[in-house]
Homo-oligomer: A and B are copies of this chain.
């Protein structure tokens, strides 16, 4: 069963090699969902690893929600989709095109941004984290001075908040300085500043496919051309495919996520990261990293690509909207070599951000409120993801789905005849919001795909909505 060469060829620590090998075994159905893994002793013997190494790897897979430890029975494979996650390469993608999107697209963008299957049914009590956040902002308001109300904030934002951001990123492998950040009105605003800073109208921008619809809208707004590069639901952006694209077309910038790219949900492996940076250097590319989902990681947020950026060509964009609150309207951008231009763009288009909100959030982070909130939320998100998977496996139609280790949604592939745009309309009539696949590309592809959120607790109303949705699939 054990192929020593397979393990030895891998990079990283021994326990990481073993973890990856086991993970692949599960993905390729060597061990099926619900099945028991070989015992620790058997694994030690077959792999030549020490007991400690095997246990370490098993613990990590358990923490990732891949394995479940049952007392006195051993490790079992958890809920997993029974097949490889969908990867789409549409041949006609590899051509530049103007980024144009329809009115329907705009309508969808607004509805889908809430990540709620049942927008009308949300009535959960405020989480302790959000109560604490509110208190922190109220305190900042009480402590505010005439000075604060009479003057605008510095264009780059409150130094206290930027310092906390630097600390957060230091824990993720990037020893950032506070001065590297500029506070924005959210991640969409950050992406908008990033694209304006490194592109001129008419320039060509590479994006993931499927990829974030907000980026496609921005490209259209800014008069930029787009070329789509496939994105894998486990490994993210297909960097080799990007290399082909760069060889053929004069691409100016690439927008991607290294962590839980939406909608496919993949994370860039180490090797792809190095290759991406090398390509960017060779082709003088700006790398716009959308980091917004990193802190939703069920286990450990992946490091940002920015951590490896020795040439200052990664523009990191993120916000608190996915991991904390969409209503803060606080994001940030670390613009590398484009930092000054970005701050200037922000100054000219909206002067400043709100300091009392920034100071309230900075105190909330410094007091440990954010860390506590994220810990609680991660457990909850993983549970909600598992519940969604369980429900989708009971659907009366064949369903393939991604298996993200973070983020807020599954990428779901129905049979090729299914029309998810029609499904979207039918569901909407019932008050149910899904995000149809075509929203994530300018190619009109992904018609049989949809994104389904697990951002909210599966109360009875949402469970019923999901059942209704499956009924609509059958009817369609």
List residues of A whose CB falls within 8 A of some B CB.
106, 109-110, 113-116, 119, 122-127, 130, 134, 137-138, 141-142, 144-155, 184-186, 188-189, 192, 201, 214, 217-218, 220-221, 321, 324-329, 344-345, 347-357, 455-456
Contacts and interface: CB of A to CB of B under 8 A. Distances in A.
A106 B344 contact: yes
A356 to B, nearest CB: 6
B347 A116 contact: no
Contact of A152 (B144, B326, B352): B326
B110 A122 contact: no
9 contacts: A113-B151, A122-B151, A123-B145, A126-B149, A138-B141, A150-B325, A192-B350, A214-B351, A357-B357
A113 B351 CA distance: 9
Contact of A327 (B116, B119, B220, B354): B354
A310 B139 CA distance: 46
Contact of A326 (B141, B150, B154): B150
Contacts of A126: 144-146, 149
A106 B350 CA distance: 13
A313 to B, nearest CB: 23
A192 B151 contact: no
Contacts of A130: 144, 146, 149
B151 A116 contact: yes
Given A126-B149, A188-B350, A329-B354, 18 more contacts: A110-B152, A113-B151, A114-B152, A124-B146, A134-B144, A137-B141, A149-B327, A152-B321, A184-B350, A185-B185, A188-B348, A188-B351, A192-B348, A192-B350, A201-B201, A214-B351, A329-B352, A354-B357
A192 B347 CA distance: 11
A147 B134 contact: no
Contacts of A201: 201
A144 B327 contact: yes
Nearest to A326: B152
A150 B347 contact: no
